[in-house]
Amino acid sequence: MKNMKDLLNFRKPGQYIGHEWNVVEKKLTQDMAKVCVCFPEGYDLGMSILGLRILYGLFNQDPAIFCDRAFLPQDDYQGYLREHAQRHSSVQCAVPLSDFDLLGFTLNYELNYVHFLKMLSLSGIPLRSAQRDKPVVGIGGCANPLVVSDFIDFCFLGEVEAAPAEFMEAVRALPRLSKQDFLDRIAGLPGVYVPARAQQYPLHTVYARTLDPSLYPVDWLVPYVGIVHDRAYVEVARGCPRTCAFCQARCMYYPYRERPAEQVISLVRKIYEKTGYEDISLLSLSVSDYSGIEPVLKELISSLGKYGVKISLPSLRATDVAGSLSSLVSQIKKSGLTIAVETVSEPLRQKICKPIDHQALYASLENALAAGYRHLKFYFMLGLPGETLEDVDLMMDFIRQTNRFLTQRNRSIEISVNFSHFIPKPFSALENETMQPYETLKAKTAHVYQSLKAQRNIHISVASCAESTVEGVLSRGDARLGSLLEYFLIENVPLSQQHVDFSQWEAACNKNSIDYGAYIYEKKNAHAWDIFKR
């Protein structure tokens, strides 16, 4: 449906109309390969994902490829599609997803797996790979694709900028190939996992040796509706030079690579010229480790500041607001400062390879206040291997003490304290560890709220224990969990952020004879995902 008047019946109709500023307008011809990059969440989140923008730009650079985008529609629009037996279609050209040659999903979060199936189902596309020909369904951004292996035709392991030439040739040839011929051509290529073909394991991830500026999406799409991150961003580095043992992102984007400072400055200028965005972020997993941060900030503040452009550094750490950087930081847009403490007990810190010097940390907090930060965001992790209630109490003491320290210096400071749960993610250094039981996490959560209830000025947020447990299972799972995903889709049981009901989850596992505890509570030294090498 692309009748503008009808769209007014839906929430946020602007998300369905396409034609954003800088959109690629290509004439679709018979011999072009039709590719749709898809994200299994709404437009507002999907348009905030850098990887999706890179893919869109990269495919569209190729004259033989026509590339559009698709997102999960909102509930009201989904209902309309079902009621009127219409197929879900792409944003820009309203082509039904079932008419594309290739659908490329970014599956970077396990709780989106059911949404991925929902997008296929809303498009009338058979879910299981064995039951369909075209479109070919590929995924990327996924550390362990085994859970969805019966639904996908291939998974791209690594970074698309490093895709072998033969892969792109096969994509170009798609209009003339059957799915089986296409899979025969790509199986065995570096970075390509085809579940339905015998392959030589382990399969290695491919990565770009340098970050090529010509592949960066400077033709930045500017949406007509508000999105989660409504700004432009320039990736200054990929990977992370640190070694936190629980971290999967570091392993997914290994090794650490930086863009030269001149390249970052030039990309920011180009994006500003093409979008007019006055809010531009410098992005990386750990932006303060970027060696060019000072010259880049100096140059951008002096050349773009006069036009009202604000530069922000979303992942800046408190310990970095010191020395010459602090005077620069006082001139940039401050979205809040991140202080990822994770844990306070020394043995646990050693286990996660994250030493923190308390004296230096408090000195940094003073610097942050002096630099004008008024919102400090602390991050902790509950449920690390071996963590006891005494360890949690040490954390609570630290939070109370830090709160006193900060409010004595500035009574209006905003402090938020966020708790996540440890998940032994595949490929992280702690992948052989186990999760703490759901009931233990619940008890620790209650203990946190009870211990901090007198700290009224602090905003506390604890991740859902149900969501973390399910995320743990799906991240460490295998193909046996595929039937569970189908069950959730058919029964319309919500399995997405903020919506996981643990009793429903347990009942579904029982019905499908899944022992979910085997994936997260049993210590193992070998794993199904060992067939992939990161």
State the nearest-atom distance from the C-beta of 153 to ligand SF4, in Å: 31
State the nearest-atom distance from the C-beta of 374 to ligand SF4, in Å: 24
Backbone angles phi, psi at 58, to 5 degrees: -65, -45
Distance CA 435, CA 350 (A): 18
Tell me the DSSP string of 442-466: HHHHHHHHHHTTT-TTEEEEE--HH
356 binds ligand SF4 (CB under 6 A): no
Burial label for 175, CB within 10 Å (0-12, 13-18, 19+), is middle
State the nearest-atom distance from the C-beta of 51 to ligand SF4, in Å: 16
417 binds ligand SF4 (CB under 6 A): no
249 binds ligand SF4 (CB under 6 A): yes
Q: Do residues 97 and 87 lie in contact, with contact meaning Cβ atoms separated by under 8 Å? A: yes
Which residues ranging from 256 to 315 are in contact with ligand SF4 (CB under 6 A)? 285-286
Tokens (6 digits) for 293: 């941060």
Distance CA 445, CA 463 (A): 9
Cα radius of gyration rounded to whole Å, the chain: 24
State the nearest-atom distance from the C-beta of 247 to ligand SF4, in Å: 3
How distant, in Å, are the alpha carbons of 88, 115, 225, 248, 439 from that of 75? 13, 12, 18, 32, 32
State the nearest-atom distance from the C-beta of 343 to ligand SF4, in Å: 13
244 binds ligand SF4 (CB under 6 A): yes
Nearer to ligand SF4, 52 or 240 (CB): 240
Mind spelling out the 3-state secondary structure of 74-138?
CHHHHHHHHHCCCCCECCCCCCEHHHCCEEEEECCCHHHHHHHHHHHHHCCCCCCHHHCCCCEEE
351 binds ligand SF4 (CB under 6 A): no
Q: What is the dihedral of CA 484, 486, 490, 491, to 10 degrees?
A: 10
Nearer to ligand SF4, 353 or 370 (CB): 353
State the nearest-atom distance from the C-beta of 285 to ligand SF4, in Å: 4
State the nearest-atom distance from the C-beta of 475 to ligand SF4, in Å: 15
Nearer to ligand SF4, 176 or 242 (CB): 242
State the nearest-atom distance from the C-beta of 250 to ligand SF4, in Å: 4
Nearer to ligand SF4, 422 or 488 (CB): 422
State the nearest-atom distance from the C-beta of 284 to ligand SF4, in Å: 9
State the nearest-atom distance from the C-beta of 283 to ligand SF4, in Å: 12
Q: Do residues 441 and 421 lie in contact, with contact meaning Cβ atoms separated by under 8 Å? A: yes
Nearer to ligand SF4, 237 or 495 (CB): 237
Nearer to ligand SF4, 271 or 381 (CB): 381
Nearer to ligand SF4, 395 or 508 (CB): 395
State the nearest-atom distance from the C-beta of 318 to ligand SF4, in Å: 13
Helix (H) or strand (E) holding 362: helix 358-370
Terminal CA-CA length for the chain: 42
Nearer to ligand SF4, 42 or 424 (CB): 424
Question: Which range touches ligand SF4 (CB under 6 A), out of 46-54, 76-84, 238-246, 394-402?
Answer: 238-246
How distant, in Å, are the alpha carbons of 37, 40, 145, 420 from that of 91? 10, 14, 26, 34
Question: Which range touches ligand SF4 (CB under 6 A), out of 34-42, 157-165, 239-247, 322-330?
Answer: 239-247
Parallel, antiparallel or unpaired: strands 257-258 and 237-238: antiparallel
Backbone angles phi, psi at 384, to 5 degrees: -60, 155
Question: Which range touches ligand SF4 (CB under 6 A), out of 236-244, 254-262, 442-450, 474-482?
Answer: 236-244
Binding residues with ligand SF4: total (CB under 6 A):
8
Candidates 316, 412, 396, 400; CA nearest to 364 is: 316
Site string for ligand SF4, 25-64 (x = CB under 6 A): ----------------------------------------
State the nearest-atom distance from the C-beta of 286 to ligand SF4, in Å: 5
Question: Which range touches ligand SF4 (CB under 6 A), out of 37-45, 86-94, 240-248, 488-496?
Answer: 240-248
247 binds ligand SF4 (CB under 6 A): yes
Beta-carbon contacts of 196 under 8 Å, excluding residues fewer than 6 positions away, are 129, 130, 153, 183
Nearer to ligand SF4, 44 or 289 (CB): 289
Neighbours of 446 (CB within 10 A): 11
Distance CA 120, CA 128 (A): 10
242 binds ligand SF4 (CB under 6 A): yes
Nearer to ligand SF4, 150 or 320 (CB): 320
Helix (H) or strand (E) holding 270: helix 261-275
240 binds ligand SF4 (CB under 6 A): yes
State the nearest-atom distance from the C-beta of 393 to ligand SF4, in Å: 24
3-state secondary structure of 339: strand
321 binds ligand SF4 (CB under 6 A): no
Cα 439-529-491 angle, rounded to 5 deg: 55
250 binds ligand SF4 (CB under 6 A): yes
Binding site for ligand SF4 (CB under 6 A): 240, 242, 244, 247, 249-250, 285-286
